[in-house]
Structure formats: structure tokens, C-alpha cells
Structure 1
Amino acid sequence: MADDAGSRWGRWPKGRSCTKPAIMNSSRCQLHEGGWSSYGVAQRRKKQAEAKMRKLRKRK
């Protein structure tokens, strides 16, 4: 069995990008587009933090 460029169970080593085609009008593939992907979670946390800061500034 040949070594598949370091992939193990379909996962790429750190620093390699996914080779699946992107969804139309998006920069990400179907697996990495969802709300529970690391990117989706980071974006959601960022938006929540910004909303919290807006709420705190508004309180004064």
C-alpha cells in the first residue's frame, strides 16, 4: 500500500488544503462550509464577541 502524501483516514496534515471542489459562490467545499467546521465556529464566536461588545458599549 502506497503512502498517500501523509493523509490518514482522509485527513490532510496541517498546512495542506482540501482538494474537493468548492461550492458555487463560495470559497469552501461542502465539508468545510458548515456551521460546525473550525472556520464556521470561529466566525460564529467572532460575531458573538462583537455583539457582546456592542451591547456593553450601548449600556453606558
Structure 2
Amino acid sequence: MLIIESHVRPIICSLANKTKKIAMITIDKKIAEGQRRLGDVPVINYHRIPSRAQLTVNLQDAE
């Protein structure tokens, strides 16, 4: 099961399964695009909503 939490301004989504947070996705133009880590969880920031292909590649790279 995949759980997606969403908050607005900036947009923040947490992707998690039942036992582990998979990634945090943010959409915020004030922060540089790219990846960083918050503990064990990858945080990926975009300036625009990513395509499905781009999101898939970035999530695979983050693992």
C-alpha cells in the first residue's frame, strides 16, 4: 500500500508504504531543484510538477 500525504504552499508529498517512508517530494521554486536526504529518507525538490517518467527515474536513483 502506498500512502501519499499532501500539503500546500510549497507542495510537499510523503510517499510511504506501511512500514517505511520511501521519499519526500517537494515543489518549491525558492529551493534549488535536486535531491538531498533527511535522515534515511530522500527529499526530491522540483520547480514544476514532474512527469511520471521523470519521477520514476528520480525515485529509482534515490534508493
User: Is the TM-score greater than 0.5?
Assistant: no
TM-score interval w.r.t. the shorter chain? under 0.3
TM-score (norm 1): 0.21
Higher share of residues assigned strand? 2
Q: Which has the larger radius of gyration?
A: 1
TM-score (norm 2): 0.20
Higher share of residues assigned helix? 1
